[in-house]
Amino acid sequence: MGARSGPERVTVATFESMKRSGEPIVMVTAYDAPSARLAEAAGADAILVGDSLGMTVLGHQTTLPVTLDDMLRHTAAVVRSVSRPLVVADMPFGTYQASPDDAVANAVRLLAEAGAAAVKVEGGRHLVPLVERMVAAGIPVIGHLGLTPQSVNVFGGYRVRGKETAEAIALVEDALALEAAGAFALVLELVPVEVAAIVTEELAIPTIGIGAGPHCDGQVQVFHDLVGLSAATPRHARRYFDAETAMREALAAYVRDVREGSFPGEENASHASEAVVAELETALPAASGREGE
């Protein structure tokens, strides 16, 4: 077998060494070939095929309706489109909560069929037995603490988690438990800066923050928030581009050009030879039975 050429793929081991060296890990969500290609071209170390796709691309109000089939299709599209970033697939709501056997089988599908390098699950210490089983089965796992959107109905909304002492202590304990169970990284979503800093300090595995301040070992953001394709930009995100306006203007120009007759132009056309046109015109009345009309 020949040596693999091209950029070196980011792995779980890369995450470990980036934590040790203090090099920030950059993760961004992507859900399809174009967004994945753009994320890789920008130099992202990791791509999260987040179940946020329920809202960003499938038009749902929450992540809850996202299915395993959705995740398999979108993860496979991302995997096919990149060569360097570590691709992590979210396990959608309902695919790991009910039965550990089903959870492992579902995670295996995300790796074996869709080609993900790891999966992400939301929740604290109650997931320890599951994370242990997954890791033992050869499935790299990222934990997700703080605001865990799949539990929106339990929390009663999307708000910062870990502001109160008891909640902050529980969060640190959950983080340590997931690390001990074998998770190789943790996403911290909407966690106070100070609490995220303590978790980051306490853990040997990297923390990846979203709305958790600058002291995490890495950051993750939702593609659509960064490029201006979300209806509203959340406080924890920075909008680097107004893709919505740029794309709307481009499409409006297309609509206008068709209506005005300036598109398609000569540069968009291909031609048949004069001979073919002449033969066609001769053959047509006979073929269509319009002779003598």
Q: DSSP letters of 133-163? A: HHHHTT--EEEEEES-GGGHHHHTS------
- Neighbouring CB atoms inside 10 A of 159's CB total 9
145 binds ligand KIV (CB under 6 A): no
**Pairing, β 46-49 against β 25-29:** parallel
Residue 128 or 145: which CB sits closer to ligand KIV? 145
Q: Which are the contacts of 19, defined by CB distance < 8 A and separation ≥ 6?
A: 25, 204, 205, 206, 217
Among 198, 220, 227, 229, binds ligand KIV (CB under 6 A): 220
Residue 20 or 227: which CB sits closer to ligand KIV? 227
Rounded Cα gap, residues 121 and 130, in angstroms: 10
199 binds ligand KIV (CB under 6 A): no
> Least distance to ligand KIV from the beta carbon of 54, Å?
8
186 binds ligand KIV (CB under 6 A): no
> Least distance to ligand KIV from the beta carbon of 115, Å?
18
> Least distance to ligand KIV from the beta carbon of 4, Å?
29
Main-chain phi, psi angles of 48, to 5 degrees: -100, 115
Among 50, 143, 206, 218, binds ligand KIV (CB under 6 A): 50
52 binds ligand KIV (CB under 6 A): yes
Which residues inside 243-272 make contact with ligand KIV, applying CB under 6 A?
Answer: none
Q: Which are the contacts of 15, defined by CB distance < 8 A and separation ≥ 6?
A: 25, 46, 86, 184, 185, 205, 206
Catalytic residue among 40, 122, 179, 189: 189
Q: Which residues partner with 52 through β-bridges?
A: none
Residue 89 or 139: which CB sits closer to ligand KIV? 89
What is the pattern of x (binds ligand KIV, CB under 6 A) and - over residues 76-95? --------------x-----
End-to-end CA gap in the chain:
69
C-beta of residue 43 within 8 angstroms of C-beta of residue 28: no
CA 217 to chain centre: 19
Identify whether 189 is a catalytic site residue: yes
Among 40, 70, 189, 217, binds ligand KIV (CB under 6 A): 189
What is the token pair recorded at 258? 């068709």
Among 44, 82, 195, 210, binds ligand KIV (CB under 6 A): 210
* Best CA proximity match to 36, nearest among 49, 55, 26, 24: 49
51 binds ligand KIV (CB under 6 A): yes
Tell me the window of 50-58, 81-89, 244-252, 265-273 that interacts with ligand KIV (CB under 6 A). 50-58
Residue 40 or 189: which CB sits closer to ligand KIV? 189
Applying CB under 6 A, the residues found at the interface with ligand KIV are 29, 48, 50-52, 90, 187, 189, 210, 220, 222
Give the catalytic positions in this structure.
189
